[in-house]
């Protein structure tokens, strides 16, 4: 197994719920040090944070129970590099189009950090999960000898999409109607599935489950100031 150097970035993976183990492995495989984060002191020590796929409502509730929600918001606001996949994208959104309500009618909370509105479970239920190859901007470091960049193989599992973005948000990848399940029921708009805003990166899909490491490598380059 590859051993990251002692001066490699220390990347925390929020380990309250979801597929955080897969993210820990992916971060390690791209040459960074990876640690689970469950307490504020662990969060304070990291150079970047990954918010994994899972259940956004559960991660929201657990982050508050573990007194992590406010420290995460503060560190993101202070410029901590952060990457969220699937549920992590929802938690990085400033706004949710269709938030879950608790028993008292209060909407779920997010950490925020990206000026975007997301729609939860936008592509349907788990049985409508699908895979597709995506053109993904920002991966020029992986170009082959001919200068071409291979598409990203993306797995969507009850993934969100981005309804709208602010002026400071860059679109990195989109899905077109003929690439989506139940495409005939959708309008003709492409759906945004990957974005970047400064030090914040988010994807609707799960690169951590396919062995696609370039998204994590992009994130490590962001931490280092190389992208």
Query: Among all residues, which ones are annotated catalytic?
Result: 86, 206, 208
Burial 83-113 (b: 16+ CB within 10 A, else e): bbbbbbbbbbbbebeebeeeeeeeebbbbbb
If DSSP states are collapsed to H, E and C, what string results for the chain?
Answer: CCCCCCCCCEEEEECCCCCHHHHHHHHHHCCCEEEEECCHHHHHCCCEEEECCCCHHHHHHHHHHCCCHHHHHHHHHCCCCEEEECHHHHHHEEEECCCCECCCCCECCCCCCEEEEEECCCCCCHHHCEEEEECCCCCHHHCCCCCCCCCEEEEECCCCEEEEECCCCEEEEEECHHHCCCHHHCCCCCEEEEEEECCEEEECCCHHHCCCCHHHHHHHHHHHCCC
CA distance 118 to 95: 7
Main-chain phi, psi angles of 14, to 5 degrees? -60, 115
């Amino acid at each position: 197994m590859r051993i990251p150097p002692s001066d490699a970035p220390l990347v925390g993976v929020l380990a309250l719920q979801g597929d955080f183990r897969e993210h820990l492995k992916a971060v390690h495989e791209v040459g960074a040090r990876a640690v689970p984060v469950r307490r504020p002191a662990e969060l304070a020590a990291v150079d970047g944070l990954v918010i994994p796929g899972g259940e956004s409502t559960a991660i929201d509730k657990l982050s508050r129970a573990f007194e992590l929600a406010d420290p995460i918001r503060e560190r993101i606001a202070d410029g901590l590099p952060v990457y969220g996949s699937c549920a992590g994208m929802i938690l990085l959104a400033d706004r949710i189009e269709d938030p879950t309500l608790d028993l008292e009618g209060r909407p779920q909370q997010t950490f925020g950090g990206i000026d975007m509105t997301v729609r939860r479970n936008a592509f349907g239920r788990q049985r409508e999960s699908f895979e597709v190859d995506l053109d993904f901007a920002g991966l020029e470091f992986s170009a082959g000898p001919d200068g071409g960049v291979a598409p990203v193989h993306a797995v969507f599992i009850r993934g969100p999409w981005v309804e709208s973005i602010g002026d400071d948000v860059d679109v990195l990848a989109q899905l077109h109607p003929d690439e989506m399940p139940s495409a005939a029921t959708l309008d003709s708009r492409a759906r945004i599935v990957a974005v970047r805003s400064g030090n914040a990166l988010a994807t609707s899909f799960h690169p951590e489950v396919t062995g696609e490491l370039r998204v994590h490598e992009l994130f490590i380059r962001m931490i280092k100031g190389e992208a």
